[in-house]
């Protein structure tokens, strides 16, 4: 069953309402986690949330340290931590719950016009009576939307290029022609096609596919899918963590390529 994507148009731009809501919700959860973990910080032996949060920071610092020296990597720990927390928490929201709302008539406020209602409507039996309804998924992982993953990748890559230009404009221009000028085309493909596609598609594909399978299982018989669903939910949590790690690691790799002299 295909879900209708609720949307609103502002100044000619179309915004997916559920994706915007879930992105803001994820950002607020990240803020809440950071606030709880740091509100009672102590210089002594850390306990509870502070201990966990310090472990996460050390984990991120360890990733950055693989590609940059300690002084350079310290500048990007905050960025990498924010990316990791946002993606990790966002990945898990669709595992925790998938909330659908069914509409039996058009709702123009969310873009569900009469034409769209006819396109997405399905026939169901309710209280012995056949009706048509359109399904809208309101609660989901924001990272299951390509607009979010591509947006994150775009910002990371643009930021990396800005850092490279600020560090040494001459060296930045020179690297496009290394080891010889015919390499310009290869560098252009790598920087503006391969990286912008592989970085977000990997994250989007894994999370979206996971949610589709979860929704498929939830629609089946309870006795038939209970055990597979539990196994898949556990696996999805693991995949969500791995994808957050991969995206953060690659973001630091791309940044290091622009700020570390060896690159």
Residue 154 included in any domain: yes
Q: Based on the structure, what is the number of domains in the chain? A: 1
pLDDT digits (tens, 9 = 90+) for 23-66: 999 999 999 988 888 887 776 666 777 788 888 999 999 999 99
Residue 112 included in any domain: no
Residue 247 included in any domain: yes
Rg of the chain on CA atoms, in Å:
22
Residue 109 included in any domain: no
pLDDT digits (tens, 9 = 90+) for 202-256: 999 888 887 777 777 766 655 556 777 788 778 888 999 999 999 999 999 999 9
Residue 119 included in any domain: no
Angle between helices 146-167 and 222-259 (to 10 degrees): 10
Q: Is the entire prediction scored with pTM above 0.75?
A: yes
Residue 226 included in any domain: yes
Residue 67 included in any domain: yes
Residue 150 included in any domain: yes
Distant-in-sequence, close-in-space partners of 121: CB < 8 Å, separation ≥ 6? 132, 133, 134
- Domain of residue 161, residue span: 40-97+141-259
Q: Which residue is it, tokens 């290029």?
A: 161
């Amino acid at each position: 069953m295909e879900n209708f994507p609720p949307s609103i148009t502002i100044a000619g731009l179309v915004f997916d309402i559920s994706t915007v809501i879930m992105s803001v919700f994820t950002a607020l959860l990240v803020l809440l986690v950071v606030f709880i973990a740091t509100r009672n910080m102590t210089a002594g032996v850390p306990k509870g949330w502070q201990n966990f949060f310090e472990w996460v920071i050390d984990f991120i610092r360890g990733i950055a340290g693989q590609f940059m020296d300690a002084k350079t990597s310290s500048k990007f720990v905050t960025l990498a931590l924010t990316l990791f927390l946002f993606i990790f928490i966002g990945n898990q929201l669709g595992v925790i719950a998938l909330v659908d709302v069914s509409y039996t008539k058009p709702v123009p406020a969310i873009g569900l016009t009469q034409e769209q209602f006819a396109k997405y409507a399905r026939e169901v039996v309710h209280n012995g009576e056949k009706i048509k309804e359109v399904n809208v998924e309101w609660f989901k992982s924001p990272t299951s939307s390509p607009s979010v993953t591509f947006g994150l990748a775009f910002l990371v890559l643009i930021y990396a290029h800005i850092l490279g230009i600020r560090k040494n404009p001459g060296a930045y221009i020179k690297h496009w022609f290394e080891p010889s000028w015919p390499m310009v085309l290869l560098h252009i493909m790598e920087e503006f096609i391969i990286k912008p596609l592989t970085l977000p598609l990997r994250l989007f594909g894994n999370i979206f596919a996971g949610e589709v399978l979860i929704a498929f299982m939830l629609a089946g018989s309870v006795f038939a899918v209970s055990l597979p669903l539990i196994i898949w939910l556990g696996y999805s949590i693991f995949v969500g963590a791995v994808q957050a790690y991969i995206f953060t690691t690659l973001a630091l790799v791309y940044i290091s390529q622009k700020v570390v002299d060896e690159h």
